[in-house]
Amino acid sequence: MINTHLHPLEKANVLESRFRKLLQNPKRILKKYIHTGMTVLDLGCGTGFFTLEMAKLLNGNGKVIAIDLQDGMLQILRNKLKNSELKPQIQIFNNPEHSLGIAEKVDFILAFYSFHEMKYLDKMIQGIRKIITPETKILISEQKLHVSKNRFENIIRKMENDGFVICERPRIFFSRSVLMKIGK
């Protein structure tokens, strides 16, 4: 178990700022990874900053699974989806802190600013292993201010120790990021 802290629900609005959308544009970050017909996972989706864009990139054909530990964050996402045409494409799950809580195979996983919040990271990685295919890619990104380079590299090392390899190191504003997949 790792000592962690969750993003406070009282500060959820920070996750949705226009400034963030300008600097960390979800479409720009995800468009080369998400395509029509995919099943994608937004792991630690929070308020859905990336979730809605993931659904748009599927172009009406595919599914987004949005999971988060905090029900308050998920309620904000549910409210966003109330009258949205994207609602049928998005499944929302409140996962327990020690497991993913889903078993469905996915084609892409986004873990944006979420791995550092996971107390049971080893168990989450085991859960990820169960839902991936050899082609599944996972984009892990952590904020430079909250997650030291050493802690980020420890997260990546845990993934590598579980059979994942780095495919790419995308440049994302104010973040340390890697794209990984399971090794052969």
Instruction: State the pTM of this model.
Output: 0.90
Stretch 170-178: mean pLDDT, rounded?
A: 96
Question: Residue 153: its pLDDT value, please?
Answer: 97
Pairwise CA distance, residues 38 & 58, whole Å: 7
Question: Residue 59: its pLDDT value, please?
Answer: 95
Question: Residue 11: its pLDDT value, please?
Answer: 55
Q: How far is CA 133 from CA 140, 182, 184, in A?
A: 17, 8, 11
Encoded tokens for 91: 């499944």
**Domains along the chain?**
32-182 (3.40.50.150)
The pLDDT confidence band at residue 23, using thresholds 50, 70 and 90, is confident
Strand locations in the chain, DSSP E? 39-43, 63-68, 90-94, 106-112, 132-143, 164-168, 175-182
Q: Higher pLDDT residue, 168 or 70?
A: 168
Question: Residue 17: its pLDDT value, please?
Answer: 67
Q: Higher pLDDT residue, 97 or 102?
A: 102
Question: Residue 2: its pLDDT value, please?
Answer: 47
